Structure 1
Amino acid sequence: MDQYIAFVGNHPVLSILWIVIAAMLVGSWFKSQFSKIRQINPQQLTLLVNRQEGQVIDIRAQKEFSAGHIAGAIHLNAEKAKQGELSSLENFKSKPIILVCNAGITASAVAEKCLKSGFEQVYVLSGGMGTWQGAGLPTSK
């Protein structure tokens, strides 16, 4: 224990940095545990679409969407969605919506906007289209 105290005394900046990193990790874990946004895999996406009439919303660029997307997906401009322009999705407020982007990061930001706009069931495809295609699942053009 004396060694830890000596280390902290000799390296205060490094010690504070470790505490900040630990706090950020714990905070991130808590946020993910209590978030209403659920990360799902391709199999769960398929079940939501087939059993609960879930709607896939693809927020990638139009060019990427046109090159190949999940069958039945609706295209939504990510920038407009981030600004809260979700009027084209009003019919899906009470149904599950699954947001898809390239890697899952942009979709999470849009998912937050959807929750704030009153959508009840918001999901994000973990890993985005990369995960979908990596699983060997089909795309439509």
Structure 2
Amino acid sequence: MNDVLHKLPEFAGNHLALSALFAILLVALVAGEVGALFRKWKMLTPASLTQLINRDTPLIIDLSASADFEKAHIPGAKNVAMSQFDPETQKDLSKAKELPVVLVDKDGRGVGKAANRLIKAGFARVFVLDGGTYAWQNAQLPVAKGKK
């Protein structure tokens, strides 16, 4: 092990591009993990969402496009277009400030901003389904089709 540590500076000097790329990736990874520690909402796996549904009665909001929602969505989810998502003006949401709120979309990538808006509007228990509807389907959990 000592031999590797002694040769590391020589390797880094001979391979500046690789060393710089490694440093950039390491910083990005650490920044992402630190950001996840300090955000106020939590990521859920399909299994943990199932547990939450069985324990509580969460409000599940699907922010997918209408066509994607009609193809497949979590049973009981309400479809709200991302462009119309405003937690401060929607009456259904203002009544649910004490309920756990779960945000879902097609692949789980576009809901972080919506989760932050919910936190800003005073919602205490905000969750995001990691992987979205795709992860739910891959876990072979039931889906509903159609508008409701």
* TM-score bracket for the superposition, by shorter chain length: 0.7 to 0.9
Are residues 1:5 and 2:9 paired? yes
1:5-54 C-alpha deviation (Å, 9 max, x unpaired)? 23333444442332221111111112223322211122322332332221
1:46-97 C-alpha deviation (Å, 9 max, x unpaired)? 332332221110000011112232221111111333xxx2222211222101
Q: Secondary structure at the match of 2:95?
A: helix
Query: What is the letter of the counterpart of residue 96 of structure 1?
Result: P
Tell me the residue number matched to 2:28: 24
Q: Secondary structure at the match of 1:105?
A: coil
TM-score (norm 1): 0.84
Query: What is the letter of the counterpart of residue 138 of structure 1?
Result: P
Are residues 1:45 and 2:49 paired? yes
Overall identity of the aligned pairs, in %: 33
- What pairs with 1:115-130 in structure 2 (closer than 5 Å)? 115-130=119-134
Choose the corresponding residue for 2:115, options 91, 111, 117: 111
- d(CA) in 2 for partners of 1:70, 1:78: 17
- CA gap of 1:51–1:2, structure 2 versus 1, over 3 A, is closer
- CA gap of 1:6–1:111, structure 2 versus 1, over 3 A, is same
Structure 2 gaps, min length 5: none
- d(CA) in 1 for partners of 2:105, 2:12: 44
Tell me the residue number matched to 1:56: 60
Are residues 1:91 and 2:95 paired? yes
Q: Note the aligned Cα RMSD (angstroms).
A: 1.9
- d(CA) in 2 for partners of 1:44, 1:107: 18
- d(CA) in 2 for partners of 1:80, 1:114: 14
Tell me the residue number matched to 1:78: 82
Query: What is the letter of the counterpart of residue 30 of structure 2?
Result: V
Structure 1 gaps, min length 5: none
The 10-residue stretch of structure 1 (7-16 or 57-66) with the greater mean CA deviation from structure 2: 7-16
